Amino acid sequence: MAEITFLGATKEIGKAGYLLEEQDETLLVDYGVKFGNPPTFPDMVYTSNLQGVAITHAHLDHSGGVPWILSKNPHLSLFCTPATRDIVTLLVHDMYKISRGRLPFSKKDLARVNRQCQALTYEETMPIGRHFEMTLFNAGHIPGSSMVSVRYNGKRILFTGDFNATESRLCAGARNNLPKHDYVVTESTYARRINPDREKIEQDLVDTVIETAESGGTVLIPAFAVGRSQEVMCILENYGVLDNFPTHIDGMARAVNKILLKHPEYVGSPRDFESAMKKTHTIHNNRDRDAAVAPGNIIISPAGMLKGGASHVYFKKVHDDPRNAIVLVSFQIPGTPGAELLAKKMATVGNRLYKVTAKVRYHHLSSHSDANGMLEMLSNIPGDPEFFLIHGEPESCEALAQKLREIGRKATVPERNETYQV
């Protein structure tokens, strides 16, 4: 009988990792990082019988430790979509640059992500070793994100990764007519949250942007480089904002844009994204940044929680004018400058506390399914599967487990490094 060991993301968000073992072979799904001082990773696994590493999507809490695993065995293959491969390569280079040598792998190991990757497209099935067969399904979370389905010994287990069953301007929703599975390892991030209507959020965001720009203010939208920046661009394009107000893109989002132009099949509407790209101005230098902060202009720039990046430059330029607006479009983790800004209308940026007189608005564009969306999608998976709840705060894992039990499903919340027979 096969076994699964939960290496990370148990009752927490960060350092995801799940090891599936069947007879004398193993398969690893996700191997991420949790940022701290120093960053932490799941425990290292034996790689001599490891047949491959699959990553559900590019976010570093799922992929940040992959160079370490690959460095242990130069013949080991990485499996993910081409878009995920290229974004991971970008993100791990940035992580290495800012970590200042506190990682368990070297700079030369970063190239292994690309060199050792066997890219798979959605719905493509790949035999791995003698006992495993893998298929990737669209997860709807960010471009290139996947649910990893593994066949072994006549059974099938699904690793949902982070998923969003709701279609956005950037991504098609997660595949909802999944095949029969015996086990499901699923995230529970927003198991206690109900997301507002997405069209209303978009309209409120556009109204804030237009109102500010028309009144002679500058709009700063701090946004994640991967996914959220591009989604905001597509929303503004769909509502005609880009035709009327100069819009600028900065930070790592610029490099992500180039990657997605290379992989349009992982964007919900390539035409809309390409049109948005043509109408936005890419920032190249400080002269461009000075020019971008002009009345009626819009700036989209990482970091999404104001933790760093080019958003700090713009924050300092726009924070003290009541005509301007700072528009937050993602969840703000407690302790971040963005969370401080929402709570107090002040923010600590670059070791200095700034009082903000610009308008502060919050229009949360979630890339995760909420409690209702999760339960609907999971309960519709054929085969009456058994569920393992991970990637959420303890209360969220337990809440989703309880909802699944109430509809007659078996649901377990594993502890770190616990092993179960599957």
DSSP one-letter code for 276:
H
pLDDT at residue 344 in the model: 95
3-state secondary structure of 82: helix
Query: How would residue 1 be classed by pLDDT, with cut points 50, 70 and 90?
Result: confident
Local structure of residue 408 (DSSP, 8 states): T
DSSP classification of residue 40: B
Average pLDDT value over all residues in the chain = 96
Peptide bond preceding 303 in cis form (omega within 30 of 0): yes
Distances (CA, A) of 134 to 130, 157, 213, 282: 12, 10, 49, 39
Beta strands in 14-59 (DSSP E): 17-22, 25-31, 50-54
Q: 3-class DSSP state for residue 116?
A: coil
Amino acid 36: pLDDT: 85
Q: Determine whether 416 is exposed, middle or buried from the number of CB atoms within 10 Å of its CB (0-12, 13-18, 19+).
A: middle
pLDDT exceeds 90 at position 400: yes
Which domains are seen in the chain, by residue range?
3-193+367-421 (3.60.15.10), 198-362 (3.40.50.10890)
Span 1-16, average pLDDT = 96
Q: Does the pLDDT value for residue 188 go beyond 90? A: yes
Q: So what's the pLDDT on residue 37?
A: 83
Q: Is the pLDDT of residue 100 over 90?
A: no
Hey, what amino acid is at 302?
A: P
* pLDDT (mean) for 195-205: 95
- At residue 309 the predicted structure's pLDDT band, cuts being 50, 70 and 90, is confident
Parallel, antiparallel, or unpaired: how do β-strands 352-355 and 346-349 relate? antiparallel
- Examine the pLDDT at 297 and tell me if it is beyond 90: yes
Both tokens assigned to 253: 């989002």
Q: Give the model's pLDDT for residue 216.
A: 97
Percent of the chain with pLDDT over 70: 100
Q: Quick check: 93 pLDDT over 90?
A: yes
Kindly tell me the burial class for residue 323, based on how many C-beta atoms sit within 10 Å of its own C-beta (0-12, 13-18, 19 or more).
middle
DSSP alpha helix (H) spans, 263-384: 270-279, 286-292, 310-318, 337-344, 371-379
pLDDT-derived band at 101 (thresholds 50, 70, 90) equals confident
